[in-house]
Every structure is written in C-alpha cells, then in structure tokens.
Structure 1
C-alpha cells in the first residue's frame, strides 16, 4: 500500500496515539504542539516534530501543510485554537481534515467550517482512527485486541463472482467471513455456493497480519 503524508496538530493523548500509529506503519508524519516535552516525545518516532502555534498561518505554510494527504487537528480543549487550526488547514487546501471535538457545539462548528471527519476519542480511539485512515479499503474497523480486528470491506475485485467454497478464505488467508451486508441488510447464515457480488460488503474477523494477504492492512 502506498504510504501517505500526515500532519498531526496537537499532541495530547489522542494526537500522540494517532501520530505514533501512523509513523509505526511507515508513513511520513509531521507533528506540532506548543508543549516542548510532548514534541520531544513525538520526535522519537515521527518524521518531523516542531514546537509551534498551530493557529499561526506562517507556521502551517512553512510546514508545507498543503502538500499533506491528511491533517488531524488534535487540539480540542482550546476551542478557539481548534477552530482556527481547522480553518487555516482548510484554506491551505488539505484534502482530508479530521478534527477532535470537545462537545456537540464544538462538533457543529467544526462541521460548518469544513472538517471532513469529527471525532470524540481518547488514546485508544486515536489508534483505531489511524488504522482506518491507512486502510482506505475498509468501510469500518473495530480492534478486538492488539492482534485481532473485525472489518467491514467491499468484496475484493479478485473475489467477485466466486463463492466462499471456491475461495476457501479460512484455509487460504486465515480469515473468517462472518457476514455479508447489502444495503441495510446483514446476512450471517451464508450460502457457501453463492457467488459474491460487487455491491456486497463483507464482515471479516481475523489476525491483523492476515489481512495483508488480501492486500489490505488492519
């Protein structure tokens, strides 16, 4: 999978977890915070870490923020800083902006100013978000443990028109298809002889390492 370039603005528990998870997977990560200790911690694993004010347009310009694939605005307790950082990031033309909200009012404002995704996470949710960002093939992902995940994903192109029996997903990939969604309907009693369609969404459980066998990461 092609690695991407991310920016993380704010290194609280959430921002630090996102930055670490993205960096550990080999992505380029720029991390910014006003707290020097947090920046020093992040500098051990991210591509670039800087002590700076994320509400300063010149700072974001110097970071080359407009060239990043995604920016995560992890500032939330300071609503004004969060809103300003999101506005500036949007103005710089970043393609996808994730912002952490402190409450529903904050969330509503972030939606109005153009954040693409708003979250209310703690550190463990930061890890889940990072994996969803990297796994663009997923409709959703739930970490069952550090080793196992449950994902919803479209039928891989090479599987379309083939049945579960033909594919032998468990034997070939070590993964278990536990359901198939079509629209709002979820079917768990699966016919092993029925060909899978392009419009189907698979619900799969397995080891994170085994998802790589079908060309995706968990």
Structure 2
C-alpha cells in the first residue's frame, strides 16, 4: 500500500519549527517552511522542498504564497503571541484543514483553543512531564499519553529478571494493564508468549492507566 503524501506548512523556523519541518520532510511529506527571518529561511532551503520569507499576519500574502493549498499548518512562532494569534486566524480564513499551534503560556493556549486550533502544544511542559516520568522510574524508557488517563509505556527489563518468564510478571493480576508486546533489539514478539524467557534490556510495551502503570514499574 502506497503511503499518501500529505502537505504541511510550517510557520516559524526556530529550533522547534525547523526540527518538525525537517522530520516531516524526512518522512517523505511535502513541506514548505515559512519565516520572516531571511537567515532562518536560508538555513532550511536545502532541507525542505520549498521555503518562503513571509509575514503570516497578512492574509493576502499567505494566499499569494500558495499556503492555502496546504492541508496542515503548524504555527511554531516563538514569543510573538500577537503574530501567533493572527496567523492562526489567517490560516483558518484561507481554509487550512488542520491547524496545530505552539503556545508559549496557558493564557496563549486558551486563546488559540477559542480560535479553533485543532491542537495546541506546550512543548516545554509536555517535555517536562515526559522527562519527570522517566526520571521517576529508571525502568521506564519512554511513554505515550493516549488521553483519558491512559498511556503506553516502554519498560526495560532489569538484569535481575533475566531468565524469568513473562508469566512471572503477573501482568494479568494487575488490574487494567495489558501487555502489547515485547521488543528484543529490533525484533517484536507477540504478547501471548507467556512462557518466553526474558533477557536483560528486553522492552515491554504495556497499556494502562497511570497509577497502575506506576505501581507496576515500581514493582519491577
């Protein structure tokens, strides 16, 4: 099955915006990078399919640059809250289907949500929670929040459990937790292999609510 290419307009090419734009392009998507700063645009010219120097608070300028032909807009403008808000309004006016916006504060977040942004991101806070989760329990190597209290965690099997079986972890007895599988290097194993012997550095993918996941991680 051929992956459908999506089109993205990334507005604001600071550290956050340029990283997202580069990764989206690496995944094979059509990406245009937009910024008022000529230097930032020049730095991304060889990475992205197209770049443009543009004042995105000007609706007509957005249309003339063809931004209205893109499916998704990511507004990664830094500290200029007014420019971020006006750009969000303009992307909605020119018909961008999906709009994600980086916010700099909770107040900024609330305003953007009222304007109809599909998702508002607070990168520092989200990364702070992510880091705290992993610092709190060293066996948790990564996690993804799914909303409504549920997360998927990537738990590294400690050396003391090497040789034990998946069944010994007694996941079935931990209410609300579900093993999604086990990764050994780049190899994936189905969750039903309960008699499989664990090895140090195996990674368990476990779904559940945060309190139960925390207790399970502490038990390991």
1:64 corresponds to:
66
Larger RCO, structure (CA 8 Å, separation 6 or more): 1
Matched residue pairs, number? 159
Gap regions ≥5 residues in structure 1: 129-141, 143-147, 156-161, 190-218
Per-residue Cα deviation, 1:169-195 (whole angstroms, up to 9, x for no partner): x9xxxx95532348x976998xxxxxx
Query: What is the SS of the residue equivalent to 1:75?
Result: coil
Structure (1 or 2) with the larger CA radius of gyration: 2
Change (3 A) 1:178 1:188: farther
Change (3 A) 1:92 1:150: same
Residues 59, 94 of structure 2: 8 Å contact kept: no
Residues 78, 104 of structure 2: 8 Å contact kept: yes
Q: TM-score, normalised by structure 2?
A: 0.59
d(CA) in 2 for partners of 1:165, 1:63: 55
Residues 73, 86 of structure 1: 8 Å contact kept: yes
Q: Report the CA distance between 1:11 and its aligned residue.
A: 1.0
Per-residue Cα deviation, 1:12-37 (whole angstroms, up to 9, x for no partner): 11111111111122111111111111
1:118 counterpart (102, 117, 120):
120
Structure-to-structure mapping, 1:17-166, within 5 angstroms: 17-121=19-123, 150=143, 152=152, 164-165=192-193
Gap regions ≥5 residues in structure 2: 135-140, 145-151, 154-179, 181-189
Query: What is the SS of the residue equivalent to 1:164?
Result: coil
Change (3 A) 1:46 1:185: same
Query: What is the SS of the residue equivalent to 1:76?
Result: coil
- The RMSD of aligned alpha carbons is 3.5
Residues 10, 74 of structure 1: 8 Å contact kept: yes
Q: Report the CA distance between 1:150 and its aligned residue.
A: 4.9
d(CA) in 2 for partners of 1:185, 1:103: 31
d(CA) in 2 for partners of 1:64, 1:185: 49
Q: TM-score, normalised by structure 1?
A: 0.60
Runs of 4+ in 1 over 4 A off after TM superposition: 148-153, 184-189
